[in-house]
Amino acid sequence: MRKIREVLRLKFELKLDNRQIAASCKISHVTVGKYLSRFAAAGLNWPLPEELDDGQIRRRLFGGADVAVQPARQLPDPATMHLELRRKGVTLQLLWQE
């Protein structure tokens, strides 16, 4: 989360462009652009108020919870895949699509 604050600092204090900020923070220049556009849309000003911590900044920019929850994926059963591959016309690509 400190990267958001660092991106904003580099942009507004040091006047770096997005690619320079991306290289400095080791993130994509597209991500830098998204952070800056969300910052503008949130109606925040630089310098940020000192009472805003990193979690509050993230909630203001992205809304909702601090951590995105990834949906769990069910792994395929290798034994079932092996049996299915023995059938005529069944390919590995077809099984992955299913």
Residue 22 CA to residue 34 CA, distance in Å, equals: 12
Range of the domain at 54: 2-62
Q: Given a cut of 80, is residue 65 above it in pLDDT?
A: no
Mean pLDDT of the chain: 86
Residue 96's pLDDT band, with cuts at 50, 70 and 90, is confident
* Predicted local distance difference test score (pLDDT) of residue 92: 86
pTM: 0.62
Let me know if residue 55 belongs to a domain: yes
Let me know if residue 72 belongs to a domain: no
Let me know if residue 38 belongs to a domain: yes
Q: What is the largest CA-CA distance in the chain?
A: 67
Q: What is the pLDDT of residues 10-55, one digit of tens each?
A: 999 999 999 999 999 999 999 999 999 999 998 888 888 888 888 8
Let me know if residue 47 belongs to a domain: yes
Total domains in the fold of the chain: 1
Let me know if residue 11 belongs to a domain: yes
Q: Given a cut of 90, is residue 68 above it in pLDDT?
A: no
Let me know if residue 71 belongs to a domain: no
Helices (H), strands (E): how many in the chain? 6, 0
Q: What percent of the chain lies above the pLDDT cut of 70?
A: 92
Q: Given a cut of 70, is residue 69 above it in pLDDT?
A: no
- How many other C-beta atoms are found inside a 10 Å radius of the C-beta of residue 38? 16
